[in-house]
Chain A
Amino acid sequence: NAGVTQTPKFRILKIGQSMTLQCTQDMNHNYMYWYRQDPGMGLKLIYYSVGAGITDKGEVPNGYNVSRSTTEDFPLRLELAAPSQTSVYFCASTTRASEAFFGQGTRLTVV
């Protein structure tokens, strides 16, 4: 099993550009999450999903959008990138009240 796979690993965006961070899991987990981690800081929840077709906002959703058309995929869309979105982004999946599996992260720089 591959677990949770994120792409790309690194990306540089110019201010105002858009991009989609991809996240795929092959563990048939219903719950999926997107976190951002600023340098030296903890994990802040952006969006989460409890199943295909269902998404909800986390702590810091502004400037982001998500979709969950399948159990496996949970892409994160950045519209009109801003320097404040420079961060490391982690996707994670889990079943209810159990271990969360993280992707390897996407390091995004907005210049």
Chain B
Amino acid sequence: GENVEQHPSTLSVQEGDSAVIKCTYSDSASNYFPWYKQELGKRPQLIIDIRSNVGEKKDQRIAVTLNKTAKHFSLHITETQPEDSAVYFCAASKTGANNLFFGTGTRLTVIP
């Protein structure tokens, strides 16, 4: 099956700085790459996703980039704010698959 690796496991940034979280995947057939945010004590929720037919997608301060050749994708958060503090999970899936494979998570702390 798919193997998704995520780095770093923890990340601290000053408020206003950018944060980047990286994931690699093993199955070249994967074509759907979502990112989930999990605030303390709450459920994971989708914040952005990208499909393999595009290389980059933006939504306000959040962007995701995908490099299919290298089999990695990244989450970029600009102008970080304290409310961005959470655990972020990447995931990978493919059409026809029965499963969604998650990375191990990155705990982001934004220091005011």
Contact = CB atoms under 8 A, between A and B. Distances in A.
Interface stretch (A14-22, A66-74, A79-87, A94-102): A94-102
A40 B34 CA distance: 21
A51 to B, nearest CB: 10
B34 A99 contact: yes
Interface string B20-60: 00000000000110101000001111100100000000000
A43 B31 contact: no
Given A42-B89, A43-B89, A50-B98, A100 B46 contact: yes
**Interface SS of B by simple majority:** loop
B93 A97 contact: yes
Interface in A42-87: 42-43, 45, 48, 50, 56, 58
Contacts of A104: 42-43
Interface residues of B, number: 25
B97 A96 contact: yes
A29 B91 CA distance: 19
Given A43-B89, A97-B93, A90 B44 contact: yes
Nearest to A45: B99
Interface residues of A, number: 23
Interface string B85-112: 0000101011111111011110100000
B45 to A, nearest CB: 7
Contacts of A105: 42-43
Contacts of A94: 100
A102 B43 contact: yes
B43 A97 contact: no
Given A42-B89, A43-B89, A98-B32, A103 B43 contact: yes
Given A43-B44, A97-B32, A100-B34, A33 B89 contact: no
Given A96-B96, A97-B31, A97-B95, A42 B104 contact: yes
A32 to B, nearest CB: 11
Given A41-B104, A41-B105, A42-B102, A97 B46 contact: no
Closest 7 CB pairs of A and B: A102-B43, A42-B104, A97-B32, A42-B105, A99-B46, A43-B102, A97-B93
